[in-house]
Structure 1
Amino acid sequence: MQAVLYVSHGSRVKETRQEALAFMEQVYKNVDVVLQETCFLELASPDIATGIDRLVQQGATKIAVVPVLLLSAGHYYKDIPDEVKKAIVHYPMIYFTYGKPLGVQDRLVKILVERLEETGVARLTDARILLVGRGGKSSEITHSIEKIATELAIKIDVENVDVCYLAANTPTFDEGLQVAIRSGSKQIFVLPYLWFTGKLVQSMDQKISELSSGNPDILLCGYLGNHPAMVTALTERVHEAIQNEQQLAE
């Protein structure tokens, strides 16, 4: 029996976990598979091993493992496969396939445009747009974020969109903000390329609050969240993982 295991990043923040689970429930409705479970890579439960156990106990014979990730990095290439390979030792009779992160997609860039518009603030001619990525050790992360920034600049008709990262890459979020402030622009839009809320969003909000006095107008836009295009994009990745004929090997 076919099953789907969604692997989300995980967070210590209860609201983040609830948001991720609610999002996945929307995807469940679009996938014609009875057995579907969500687990977390770290910082929350159930973990991957528990998620797999639950599906096997319900009769799963084939499990499509779907990473709930925006971009390809260490979690996709190493952490998730390593955990699944451990399960293969215990369940050699189960056929595991592996999906892909969402990657760079035009419809996701359009969500960023919407998040800018949702502020309800008209952009000044000298406004700075600061795209904030989570960051990661893989060079694919920086290439992807830079590509997204370029596509966003074209869509909103600005010369360029600045990028920065919350971890593992430079410029850091603090550095990106300082460069934007020193530019002399009177208006800065901070645009997080993050799926769900959590500590990272909270830290950005706090930093912006600290800098709000005596500095340009700094506006924190919404994250990607449960936008319908996000639901559709992940649903498509699920279908691809189910149809994938290449088994994840031990």
Structure 2
Amino acid sequence: MRAIMYVAHGSRLPEKNREFRCFVEQIMQQRPETHQKIAFLEKEDETMALVGETLMEAGASEITVIPMLLFPAMHATKDIPEQVIALKKAHPDVTFQIADTFGAEEETIAVAASRIKAASPAKSAAILVIAHGSATYHEPRIQMQRVAEKLSAELGNPVTLGMLHGEPNYRQVATELAATNDNIYWMPYFLFTGQLVDKIRAGITEVSEHTPNTTWHETNCLELDSSLAPAVLRKITEVSQ
């Protein structure tokens, strides 16, 4: 029997975890598997180990692991595979597949473009898209550079990339943009607003205090939009074939 385990980072805020459950449940409804569960990397009562054991007790002989993450940094590249190896070691007869992340999929980019368009930036405005990034893994930056290029083509505005972690540092990028632009729209390229977006917002506020001639506009993030579901479903299909 095939089962699916959706692995999310998890939030310290219970309401954010509830929102994530609702988002994943929409995806579950579009899959035929009767056994599908959510695991959280930072929620002790729903770890990958516990959820995996539950699925196997229900008869799962093949488990597809879906990282509910935008880009392949530490969680997708190290933490999730290590948890899968531990499960596989304890249950060598069970087959596991790990899907790719979905931050660079066309649906995700389309949602990001819609968020920016909803803010109605002028053609002369600068667009700054800020992602999580990584100081260790290069792939998130490479993928986000492609995302920025596609967003620029879709929006008709130059789109500049900034990262919370790693390069290019969003604060430095924001400061450089403000030197030549008096109107900047910035979008947090995150699944939902949480502590990291709050941290970025505080950083942009600090930059704005030193750039009084620039007006800063924040757009909404991806907000767990239901339009992201096809991107996740595609990743499930790709790894399940």
- Scaled by the length of structure 2, the TM-score of the pair is 0.90
Unpaired segments of 5 or more residues in structure 2?
A: none
The sequence identity of aligned pairs, in percent, is 26
In the other structure, the counterpart of 2:184 is: 188
Compared CA separation, residues 123 and 146, structure 1 to 2 (3 A)? same
For residue 72 of structure 1, report the CA deviation from its aligned partner. Answer: 2.0
Q: Deviations over 1:62-119 (max 9, x none)?
A: 1111111212223222211111111112212212122111152233222122001222
In the other structure, the counterpart of 1:163 is: 161
Compared CA separation, residues 87 and 187, structure 1 to 2 (3 A)? same
| The 10-residue stretch of structure 1 (171-180 or 52-61) with the greater mean CA deviation from structure 2 | 171-180
Amino acid of the structure 2 residue aligned with 1:145 = M
Moved over 6 A (4+): none
- 204, 215, 218: which one pairs with 2:216? 218
Q: What is the rounded CA distance, in whole Å, between the counterparts of 1:197 and 1:9 in structure 2?
A: 13
Aligned length: 238
Amino acid of the structure 2 residue aligned with 1:165 = M
In the other structure, the counterpart of 2:153 is: 154
Compared CA separation, residues 52 and 222, structure 1 to 2 (3 A)? same
| The 10-residue stretch of structure 1 (143-152 or 42-51) with the greater mean CA deviation from structure 2 | 42-51
In the other structure, the counterpart of 1:22 is: 22
Q: What is the rounded CA distance, in whole Å, between the counterparts of 2:107 and 2:14 in structure 1?
A: 28
Q: What is the rounded CA distance, in whole Å, between the counterparts of 2:43 and 2:206 in structure 1?
A: 28
For residue 232 of structure 1, report the CA deviation from its aligned partner. Answer: 1.1
| The 10-residue stretch of structure 1 (107-116 or 12-21) with the greater mean CA deviation from structure 2 | 12-21
3-state SS of paired residue (1:132): strand
3-state SS of paired residue (2:171): helix
Q: What is the correspondence of 1:1-250 to structure 2 with a 5 Å cutoff?
A: 1-42=1-42, 45-119=45-119, 121-125=120-124, 127-136=125-134, 137-158=136-157, 160-167=158-165, 169-183=166-180, 185-210=181-206, 214-243=212-241
- The answer as to whether partners of 1:62 and 1:94 remain within 8 angstroms in 2 is yes
Q: Cα RMSD between the aligned structures?
A: 1.9
- The answer as to whether partners of 2:121 and 2:185 remain within 8 angstroms in 1 is no
For residue 146 of structure 1, report the CA deviation from its aligned partner. Answer: 0.9
Structure scoring higher RCO (CA < 8 A, sep ≥ 6) equals: 1
For residue 42 of structure 1, report the CA deviation from its aligned partner. Answer: 2.8
Unpaired segments of 5 or more residues in structure 1?
A: 244-250
| The 10-residue stretch of structure 1 (128-137 or 211-220) with the greater mean CA deviation from structure 2 | 211-220
